[in-house]
Structures are given as C-alpha cells and as structure tokens.
Amino acid sequence: MKKRLVFITDCLDFAYSELRGTVLSQLHKLGNRIDLEIEPVVPVMPFSIINGSFVLRLMAEAYPENTIFSVILNPLKERPVRLIGKTKTKGLYFLGANTGVFDWFLQDFGIDELYEIHDPGFFPFGGKYVHAPAAAQIASGRLLSLIGSKFDSSGLVKLDIPDGTILHIDNFGLMKFKGIIPELNEGDKLTIEISGNSFPTVYAKRMMSRETGEWVLYPGSSLGLPEIGKVHQNGAKEIDAKVGDIVKIVV
C-alpha cells in the first residue's frame, strides 16, 4: 500500500517546501525507494492549537490507514517534548510537539504506541531538523521504538474545548463550532451571540437556499458539527470573529 505523509502546519511559505525536500532527501540517504506520497500542505490558523486539533481530527477521518501526520505547530513559551506514535484505530502515525493538539485525535482513535522522540536539542526550525527526518524514518519502515523512548500517556497535554468554541473559519467566513444544534425546524428564527455581537439568525438545512446577507445556522459538513455564516458574504470578517471565540445560541 502506498504511504502518505500529511503536514499539518502554520508554516505556509517556503518552509513547507523545506519540509517536503528534507523528507525526500532523508529517504534518499536511507536508500529507501518506497512509494511515498507527500500530500499538499494542510494549513492551520497561525499559533492556534484549537484549530490544529480540529484539522488533525478532520484529516484523520478522511485519510486511509497507515497515513503519517506530522503536526508542526507550537506557540508555547516553554519547549515541549516531541512525540511520535501510532493509533489503535486505522493505524495512523503521528508526530509533533506535546501541546494538546493530539488530545481530541487520540481520544477518538486510541493509542497503540507512544514515544518521546530522542531529543537532539533546540533547533530554530524543529519541524525541518527533527520532525521531517523522523517522518522519513517512519515512512522507511523504521520501528518507532528506535526513534524515541517510551512515553506515558498520562503525560499527554489535554486540550479543553468548551461547547460553542469556534474551531475553524473558512475562506467564505463560515464558522465551524463545537456543539449540537437544538431541536429546530426549517426556517425557525433565533439569536446568535459571538463575543459581544448579537444578531438574528435563521435555521436551515441548506444554507444557500436562504437570501444573500442572511445569517444562517445549519448542519455542517465536518464531523457532524454545526456551522454558522452569512449567505454570499464573509460574516466572520464582518464581526471580527476568531477561532476560540464562543458561539451562543438563544432560541
């Protein structure tokens, strides 16, 4: 089976090309001719562990077994340990800093193996000098136990994401958030509150069936989560909504 490597990161300039090139160069040095597909970069909102957590969970749902997820996203002041592991469900490989970004993902997919990557010390771009070579070793078939030391799962950083938290805002200004839509019928009126902004909203199963400029709450396309947005307009930009803000539904 072809192996796939997915970089989930906020490093979206030439840094991604460096990551990709480093993996390919490391595989060449290892003398390995495996069939590895390095997927297009999966972008994350800069410095947002909440967004990274959601994106990783979403990609894990979409990609097949044996996919390698390299999460390069670390806004923390203190340098966290770097982890590498494999899930029980689907046998997905993962590596990245212990920031809490793996919490949701591992709650749903479980842990088969978990290690702390052998620490080579600090590098200004750890994704390039530590994570990418480790990803190449995984792709080449090297045992995880040779790349790191056993890590107790009790040491995993937890990430508390309250109900209503905006997890992602797409390029249309549509906001995906954590929670469950209350019992509503098509066309029901309600009020939405987001960070001091309050506005009338309508519930619909298909957002685009409503009028341009209308705020709509609707069942979203990702993991059964609800979404809210303005038809044909960037509502999130209008109210300056951000990942991490809380959505409150008032029926």
Domain boundary (155, 186, 213) is at: 155
Residue 115's domain spans which residues? 3-155
pLDDT score for 28: 85
- Single out the residue of 31, 33, 5, 30 nearest to residue 20, CA to CA: 5
Cβ(196)–Cβ(239) under 8 Å? no
104 and 50 housed in the same domain:
yes
pLDDT score for 78: 84
**Number of independent structural domains in the chain:** 2
Beta bridge partners of 94: 69, 85
What CATH number has the domain bearing residue 98? 3.40.50.10790
DSSP tag of 127 = I
189 and 93 housed in the same domain:
no
46 and 103 housed in the same domain:
yes
Bigger pLDDT: 41 vs 33: 41
57 and 121 housed in the same domain:
yes
- Check pLDDT > 70 for residue 246: yes
- Check pLDDT > 80 for residue 3: yes
What is the chain's Cα-based Rg? Answer: 20
What CATH number has the domain bearing residue 215? 2.40.30.90
pLDDT score for 1: 64
pLDDT score for 89: 97
Beta bridge partners of 197: 194
Please state whether beta strands 82-86 and 42-43 pair in parallel, antiparallel, or not at all (unpaired).
unpaired
**Is residue 160 a part of any domain in this protein?**
no
123 and 226 housed in the same domain:
no
As given in the structure block, the two tokens for residue 198 are 């309050």
- Single out the residue of 82, 165, 169, 171 nearest to residue 131, CA to CA: 82
24 and 148 housed in the same domain:
yes
31 and 113 housed in the same domain:
yes
- Distance between CA 230 and CA 216 in Å, rounded? 6
pLDDT score for 123: 72
What tens digit of pLDDT does each residue of 186-219 get? Answer: 999 999 999 889 999 999 999 999 999 999 999 9
Q: How many CB atoms lie within 10 A of CB 145?
A: 11
**Is residue 145 a part of any domain in this protein?**
yes
Arithmetic mean of pLDDT, 130-155: 94
73 and 194 housed in the same domain:
no
- Distance between CA 53 and CA 102 in Å, rounded? 6
- Check pLDDT > 70 for residue 32: no
Which residues are within 8 A (CB) of 72 and not within 5 positions of it... i.e. 6 or more apart? 7, 8, 9, 10, 11, 19, 96, 126, 127, 131
pLDDT score for 13: 87
**Average pLDDT of every residue of the chain:** 93
Arithmetic mean of pLDDT, 21-30: 88
Domain boundary (155, 181, 214) is at: 155
pLDDT score for 76: 80
39 and 88 housed in the same domain:
yes
Q: Using alpha carbons only, what angle is made at residue 76 by residues 72 and 77, rounded to the nearest 5 degrees?
A: 135
37 and 111 housed in the same domain:
yes
Arithmetic mean of pLDDT, 32-59: 93
136 and 220 housed in the same domain:
no
Domain boundary (111, 127, 155) is at: 155
